[in-house]
Chains A and B, each alone.
Chain A
Amino acid sequence: MNKLLMHPAAKPVVFLLCLLPFAWLTYGAFTDGLGANPAEFLIRATGDWTLRFICIVLAVTPLRVITKTNALARFRRMLGLFAYFYVVVHLLCYSWFDMGFEWADIAKDIAKRPFILVGFSAFVLLTPLAATSFNRAIKALGAKRWQMLHKLVYLIAGLGLLHFFWMRAGKNNFAEVFVYAAIVAVLLGWRVWNYASKRKPKPSAGTRGSGEKSLRSSSAG
């Protein structure tokens, strides 16, 4: 497995896989394939994919440690950037299709509606993480500080879940929310357990920041 993940083609392949939902949605938008309310469909689907990538990126370290597949670490940065990519598209879809790029209305909406505010906060907090996703940033900040900053992802995951929960609250329709919440709870719970059990000398929250040397820094558009 490690060998496969170290293959030079592994990163480009994962990169293309991550772009598939975007390609599929774009294709659907232009071929009238997103149902009766394509705007709503796009806003919801991009939100779903943001949450999925948050879950995927949070799963990297537990999987790496449990399966002893260290090569998984190579993909963490790219997956995190894809979470950011999808949240940007999500925000763009909402700003465009729901609000017609009326900035004043958007500002009012963010202030007035708690669930929009929470979602927007998650996006704002994710921005510095995306902006420091290159090796020089780790050096500039220092590995410790960089790691502290990137631990914000736990809070961001919580805010994303709260945003989704509140969006569904009016209709008491929580089944999907609970699925995501359960996944995040397991992934964060593992970290707590891992930290508490102290069986590993390594800090739990992933690899040491400077330990990851990627030959190519992938950027997600």
Chain B
Amino acid sequence: MSFHSRPQGRNSGFIHPLSSEITPRAIYESRRDLLKLMAGGAAGAALASFAGREAFAQATGPHKLALLPGAKSAVPGAQTMEKLTDYKDATSYNNFYEFGTDKGDPVKNAGTLKTRPWTVEVEGLVKKPGKYGIEDLLKLSAQEERIYRLRCVEGWSMVIPWVGYSLAELIKKVEPQGNAKYVEFVTLADPKTMPFVGSRVLEWPYTEGLRMDEAMHPLTLLAFGMYGEVLPNQNGAPVRIVVPWKYGFKSAKSIVKIRFVEKEPSTAWNKAAAQEYGFYSNVNPNVDHPRWSQATERRIGDGGGLFAKRNKTLMFNGYEAQVGQLYAGMDLKKNY
């Protein structure tokens, strides 16, 4: 246990109206020029200098990783106006059990993760299976910035400016077959670089899954970056899923395989404790975790710090208008 001092981010303490002002990154001051650069769809260009070298887990904050700017997203619900979580908190308070079970472990241990070369294998019930290199994935669709609430099943939350594009873009490209009802995500499990793979906390590799309509929902993001830079290792570099209306563990990190399957895939936390972590795991203030209430949450880094009051948790994490219809007629207590 050690002390960390937390410098105040530039964005502390007031509300920003626009993403161009919201992000505590010098990058946005020159973003317009960058957008012109990107117009050719060459999202990978910003990464050119980055290719071939390893990223190290950053504990010191931004300006250390390769830039990955994204255009403001037009997807409904993709631009929450809430105050961003400080980059330092978002990158030093993580659940990434491959690197240890303590929240501070990933930032300490994830420096060993090798994010290049990286391929994501698409397999199962698709017309175009195959291996997709990270550079190709980066260029597959225009990078967007999405400012999402993130709600962890443990009862804390953040607001993160992700960079990526709708997972649907990739799914459409690989053309799922008619009998593909679910999408399964398999993440890296490399005992050489991930010291806690093999621990008995979970079965490895960590797997997650979504129903096809959930995976195709425009809010479901294939994310490559955050805060205008590529993802730090401890946040799931080089590519992860972000499903903003579900508890955080549904958003698999460092994915290496996307499988299209007919049956509901088994998921890592569901296998570990089925009564506590269901397949759907939608954020829901009315369905308690067996060992704690989900009615409220603690926003990390909220003004008032220690003495900040907990916030009320929102149905579907505040994305009910966008995703509610996916669950019409479903008993959410039974399908927790």
Contact = CB atoms under 8 A, between A and B. Distances in A.
A and B bind: yes
Interface of A: 28-29, 31-40, 42, 45, 97-98, 100, 109, 113, 115, 166-167, 169-173
Interface in B1-41: 1, 3-6
Interface of B: 1, 3-6, 88-89, 92-93, 101, 103-104, 156, 200-202, 272-273, 276, 289-293, 298, 300-301, 305-307, 309-310
B103 A38 contact: no
A102 B291 CA distance: 18
B305 A36 contact: no
B201 A172 contact: yes
A35 B4 contact: yes
A173 B201 contact: yes
Residue with the greatest number of chain A CB neighbours at <10 A, chosen from B272, B293, B309: B293
Given A100-B309, A115-B291, A166-B291, A37 B298 contact: yes
Contacts of A32: 5-6, 305
Contacts of B272: 171-172
Nearest to B272: A172
B306 A171 contact: no
A170 B88 CA distance: 27
B201 A42 contact: no
A172 B273 CA distance: 9
A173 B273 CA distance: 12
Contacts of A115: 291
A31 B5 CA distance: 8
B306 A36 contact: no
Nearest to B1: A45
A97 B201 contact: no
18 contacts: A28-B3, A34-B3, A35-B93, A35-B104, A37-B298, A37-B300, A39-B298, A40-B298, A98-B310, A100-B310, A109-B293, A115-B291, A167-B291, A170-B276, A170-B290, A172-B201, A172-B272, A173-B101
Contacts of B298: 37, 39-40
A36 B273 contact: no
Contacts, number: 67
Given A97-B306, A172-B272, A173-B101, A36 B201 contact: no
A211 B103 CA distance: 47
Nearest to A25: B1
A116 to B, nearest CB: 8
Contacts of B103: 35-37
B286 to A, nearest CB: 15
B3 A36 contact: no
Given A32-B5, A33-B4, A170-B273, A38 B305 contact: yes
B88 to A, nearest CB: 8
A165 B292 CA distance: 15
A36 B293 contact: no
A172 B93 contact: no
A100 B308 CA distance: 9
Nearest to A39: B306
A215 B291 CA distance: 46
Residue with the greatest number of chain B CB neighbours at <10 A, chosen from A32, A42, A109: A32
B156 A37 contact: yes
Nearest to B104: A35
